[in-house]
């Protein structure tokens, strides 16, 4: 488990940033999640835990307290839902965002019943996590204002800040299912647009749009591929989070 981080930018609604604990057992993914959070104004990673036991210990020791936990569901020592139960039993009110490959809807339902505020599926790009964090910040700011709700509409608005719409957050014309297929190919091995198109069944022009979107969000890098006749191809190599032990 890493030690405390340096100070981050202040939120618009208070005098300190939202303090975030990343709970992720896969080192590369943990590092990427920490870096992603650090790119969102108003959030500060104060620690990284690799097991559920480490997470609970850090929550106990944190002063000021942790505000938000980014929680992997399948950890080496216990399930993420058990971590949430241990948090609540110990009196820790920190909000939780599940960041996981677990797609079982029973797990999603259990997460909701235990008060997990958002659920983000791996693999994801920076923009997806940023959207979750920004919505969480808006929700938190609205509730931190205190006082009584003026009516049902005000309660609904507060909850809508958190949940948002059912959109994917992707640029117009890009779909989540195709993006996931493209990500799977590039994660397996560095690939050109033609190779990804061949494996996903998409047109090369369409595939290149997805690859360029991934490059713009920082999870793949472009590099020239030499050794073939003619102009060198552009190769896309995955540098974002790797699969962790909770992959299906």
How confident is the model over 5-41, as pLDDT tens digits?
A: 443 333 434 568 999 999 999 888 898 899 999 999 9
Q: Could you tell me if residue 7 is inside a domain? A: no
Question: What percentage of the chain has pLDDT greater than the value 90?
Answer: 39
Sheet of 191-192, strands arranged across: 191-192, 233-238, 220-225
Same domain, yes or no, for 33 and 87?
yes
Same domain, yes or no, for 156 and 189?
no
46 in Cβ contact with 78 (< 8 Å): no
Same domain, yes or no, for 196 and 148?
no
How confident is the model over 113-149, as pLDDT tens digits?
A: 888 888 888 877 788 888 889 889 888 887 666 555 5
Mean pLDDT rounded to a whole number for the chain: 81
Same domain, yes or no, for 140 and 228?
no
What is the domain-level CATH number for residue 212?
1.10.10.10
> Is 175 a residue whose pLDDT tops 90?
no
What is the domain-level CATH number for residue 102?
3.40.50.2300
Phi/psi for 48 (5° steps) reads -130, 125
Tokens 């297929």, located at residue: 181
Q: Could you tell me if residue 72 is inside a domain? A: yes
- The total domain count for the chain is 2
Q: Distances in Å between the alpha carbon of 176 and those of 5, 69, 118, 122, 202? A: 34, 25, 18, 12, 14
Same domain, yes or no, for 50 and 151?
yes
> Is 247 a residue whose pLDDT tops 70?
no
Q: Which of 66-75, 157-166, 180-189 comes out lowest in average pLDDT?
A: 157-166
99 in Cβ contact with 122 (< 8 Å): yes
Q: Could you tell me if residue 243 is inside a domain? A: no
Q: Could you tell me if residue 12 is inside a domain? A: no
Q: Could you tell me if residue 171 is inside a domain? A: no
| Residue-range definition of the domain harbouring residue 226 | 176-238
Last residue of a domain, one of 132, 163, 194: 163
Cα–Cα dist 11/68, whole Å: 14
**Structure confidence at residue 48 (pLDDT):** 96
Tokens 């002063």, located at residue: 63
Cα–Cα dist 195/213, whole Å: 17
């Amino acid at each position: 488990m890493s030690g405390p981080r340096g100070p981050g930018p202040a939120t618009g609604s208070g005098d300190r940033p939202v303090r975030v604990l990343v709970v992720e057992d896969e080192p590369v993914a943990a590092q990427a999640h920490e870096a992603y959070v650090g790119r969102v104004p108003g959030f500060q990673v104060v620690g990284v835990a690799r097991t559920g036991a480490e997470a609970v210990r850090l929550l106990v020791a944190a002063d000021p307290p942790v505000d938000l936990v980014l929680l992997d569901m399948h950890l080496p020592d216990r399930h993420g839902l058990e971590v949430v139960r241990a948090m609540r039993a110990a009196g820790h009110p920190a909000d939780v965002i599940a960041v996981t490959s677990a797609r079982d809807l029973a797990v999603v339902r259990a997460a909701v019943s235990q008060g997990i505020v958002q659920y983000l599926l791996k693999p994801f790009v920076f923009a997806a996590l940023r959207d979750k964090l920004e919505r969480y910040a808006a929700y938190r700011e609205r509730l931190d204002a205190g006082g009584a709700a003026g009516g049902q509409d005000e309660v609904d608005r507060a909850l809508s800040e958190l949940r948002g719409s059912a959109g994917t957050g992707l640029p117009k014309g890009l779909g989540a299912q195709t993006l996931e297929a493209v990500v799977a190919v590039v994660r397996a091995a560095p690939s050109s647009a033609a190779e990804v198109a061949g494996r996903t069944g998409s047109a090369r022009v369409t595939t290149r749009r997805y690859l360029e979107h991934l490059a713009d969000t920082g999870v793949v890098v472009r590099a020239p591929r030499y050794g073939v006749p003619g102009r060198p191809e552009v190769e896309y190599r995955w540098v974002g989070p790797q699969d962790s032990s909770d992959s299906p």
